[in-house]
A and B are shown apart, each in its own frame.
Chain A
Amino acid sequence: MSDKKPEEKEGPVQVLQTPVRLEYVFSAGQSASRLLGAMAKGKLLGQRCPVDGRVYFPSRGSCPQHGVPLDGAPVELADKGTVATYSIVRIPIEKVPLELPYVTVQVVLDGADTVLMHLLKCDVDKVHMGMRVQAKWKPREEWTSSVENILYFEPIDEPDAPYDSFKEHI
């Protein structure tokens, strides 16, 4: 056996730390890189399907329904939209800039035909489907090519969107 001195006795070892750590370099690809580059200028770029005209945001560069490339001109979207569905979160998660309880929402941006998952800064008793919301951006000097430029969404003083306008997303 080793001639090194045994460690002090500290009672039996009962727990083992077994962290799993995976280090990736994520490549955004052409489509998302374009979207993220536009984010750095405060723009939300969607892509239109050439088959049925639906606008995807965020877009992965191809239509998941028709399997065709979304290679037409990008479509600039408003930073306003409609809450399709929501969930109230009461368990903390790292890096969320809102205090508990907070709201996660699926937002249909005006001009888009897909939902964007984001945070909503709002009294949890007030959130509802059809609620009109707008993006709260970080200060312009902090913008990077990241979706984190939008901190969260906030309610705006507009009448609720009609159910038919978002029912396909719930």
Chain B
Amino acid sequence: MSDLLLNLALILVKLGLIFAVILSMAAYLVLAERKILGRMQLRHGPNRLGPFGLIQPVADVIKLITKEDFVPDQSDKWLFLFAPGLTALTALLSFVVVPFSPPLAIFGRELPMVVCDLNIGLLYFLGISSLGVYGVVIGGWASNSKYSLLGAIRSLGQLLSYELSMGLALIPVVLTAKSFSLTDIVMSQADWPNLVRHPLAFLIFLVSIAAESKRTPFDMPEAENEIVGGFHTEYSGMRFGLFFVGEYINLVILGSMLTVLFLGGWHGPLLPPIVWFSLKVLFVAFCFIWARGTMPRLRYDQLMHLGWKVLIPLALLNLLVTAAVLLALKG
């Protein structure tokens, strides 16, 4: 019994730590994004609050909390109120399976550095990330506004299409690691990161998660200048904030998935594993921000074309070739 309690306490402590880290990371990613985008456009970005604007996230949160929480009259109230929470929650939940460091030995016990090492961790991640679309869609539909509905429809189509190529790009990784567990997948990359072994799968996965996170080259669902913010047009105050933070949590999650699956997780010379892991995640996040500062938005038909006619056939081909090569090597 005491063993069970200890396990429970450990899980809760890890969960709390991860939530705190991720939430603050998301808050500071917002700041980092604004600063980096600013510098890329020859501006400064926020720099008034504290040195280099470091207190800006706090001010943002205060502003969002004190704003009126507006509910449109003809909206589907309960769904409207509940959708933003769903978005943020699903984004947070996927972090449960991400291993960020090799198992640690404390007090003679082996302590896995992951909240819950599921043996189907990868599938769990795929499942949770496919749930993420519900928050957006329900929010957009419940607002009962044309722009929100358009945003919801766009995000439905987009997420559905890119989920396929994302899943297909992951199968070669599973084939080499011979496991669905993320810890095993990281272990299998001890000498070579999967980036080297499966460059095509890496590219496909990269594009797919960029589309999945609804960020700039693929931000049709929120396209401010076409459909006025899309699904979150009608939201204000902290509910908008939840959508917003959810997007950045998603960025952290997808960055860590990319790290775990393709960049070799915590493996790296000299520095301790956890530092390598965070460095890689931050680098991926920077690349996403960089892409936002660089790329124009795609058109919707271009998006669908890219998803269905380029990425999915490529991913299938890649899967076929990888499987054949692995079979040949084995036999």
A and B co-occur in one complex: no
Where the two chains meet, the residues of B that have a C-beta atom closer than 8 Å to any C-beta of A are: none
Where the two chains meet, the residues of A that have a C-beta atom closer than 8 Å to any C-beta of B are: none
